[in-house]
Amino acid sequence: MTPSKPPPRPISTVMAPPIVSQKPAIQVIERMTALLDALAQQSEPVSLKILSQTTQLHPSTAHRILNDLVLARMVDRTEPGLYQLGMRLLELGNLVKARLNVRDAAATPMRELHRLTGETINLSVRQGDEIVYIERAVSERSGMQVVRAIGGRAPLHLTSTGKLFLAAEDPRAVRSYGMRTGLAGQTRNSITEPAALERELEAVRKNGYARDNEELELGVRCIAAAIRDDTGRLVAGLSISAPADRANDGWVGALQETAAQISSSLGYEAAEKAETSRA
């Protein structure tokens, strides 16, 4: 007797869940983004009426959010009822662009400087009253424990790179920084007096590089040189960190050459030559 065939399996009618584009969890963020996107589509200032129609937001809602964006400098009110994207977006965009470009330009030169010195090489940028470490070439054989990893932060006045940024400021801005931060120290070597900080910054301007003499972390010394972009703006600092008993002033030349090489990759050398030729 031939065995009977099993009945055919029923075709499943269960549908896969639809792919849903993610939206911000906070509704006002979604609305704010919609307004910024609508402004980005226009080359001229836009009226509240058009923005309301484009984003499908009630005029009173759009007006309220736009007022907050104006206060945050993300939107400019050119005249009553007309809006355009604000300068703060340009500043933030340039900051992101600079960080990405600096990391790309610095990667190979940092590794070469690390091979030359055998010490930890840091790439840092300024964010507010602190520096942020965005890249590092670490020496595993140095025996030095570096507590600031990539993404770590430190006060400007306690670091060699931070001093580069402060030295580029005018005296009023430096005094303002001191008042905001109180020049809090972390070691017995930390500079905590305004007059001492100004003397230190004057030495930075004179020497063309900056030092951290165990001011952030006992047992660790650093030297830093400036990295500039095609406009000549100070965008980052390149520093060498080493145990205090092994820090070597003979590294300064190589450090400055490496920082100049990175700056050149960002267009600084070409911009400098163009300015000289115009003179």
Amino acid letter for position 176: S
Give the CA distances from residue 70 to residues 26, 77, 98, 161, 192, in Å, rounded to whole numbers and listed in that order.
Answer: 20, 7, 25, 33, 37
3-class secondary-structure state, position 141: coil
Dist. CA 192–CA 87, nearest whole Å:
35
* Domain hosting residue 57, numbered range: 27-85
187 with 273, same domain? yes
173 with 121, same domain? yes
Ranges 1-5, 22-26, 48-52, most confident = 48-52
Q: pLDDT tens across 86-112, in order? A: 988 888 887 777 777 899 999 999 999
58 with 150, same domain? no
Give yes or no for a contact between 142 and 151, defined as CB atoms under 8 angstroms apart: no
What sign for the dihedral angle of Cα 125, 131, 135, 136? positive
168 with 65, same domain? no
189 with 224, same domain? yes
Amino acid letter for position 72: A
Quick check: is 22 in a domain? no
Give the CA distances from residue 133 to residues 17, 102, 103, 124, 158, in Å, rounded to whole numbers and listed in that order.
Answer: 43, 12, 11, 4, 14
81 with 111, same domain? no
67 with 104, same domain? no
Pick the last residue of a domain from 37, 57, 85: 85
pLDDT category, 12, cuts 50, 70, 90?
very low
Dist. CA 237–CA 197, nearest whole Å:
19
Quick check: is 70 in a domain? yes
* Weakest-pLDDT range from 61-65, 161-165, 201-205: 61-65
78 with 145, same domain? no
pLDDT for 272: 53
Residue 70 burial by Cβ neighbours in a 10 Å radius (0-12, 13-18, 19+): middle
66 with 131, same domain? no
Quick check: is 5 in a domain? no
* pTM for this entry: 0.66
Q: Is the pLDDT of residue 8 over 60?
A: no
Q: pLDDT tens across 206-258, in order? A: 999 999 999 999 999 999 999 999 889 999 999 999 999 998 889 999 999 99
Helices (H) and strands (E) in the chain, counts: 9, 9
99 with 80, same domain? no
Report the percent of the chain where pLDDT is more than 90: 70
Q: What is the CATH number of the domain that holds 183?
A: 3.30.450.40
Contacts of 237 (CB under 8 A, 6+ apart): 122, 123, 124, 125, 131, 160, 161, 162, 164, 165, 210, 224, 225, 226, 227
Residue 91 half-sphere exposure toward CB, CA atoms < 13 A: 9
Report the percent of the chain where pLDDT is more than 70: 83
Q: Is the pLDDT of residue 10 over 80?
A: no
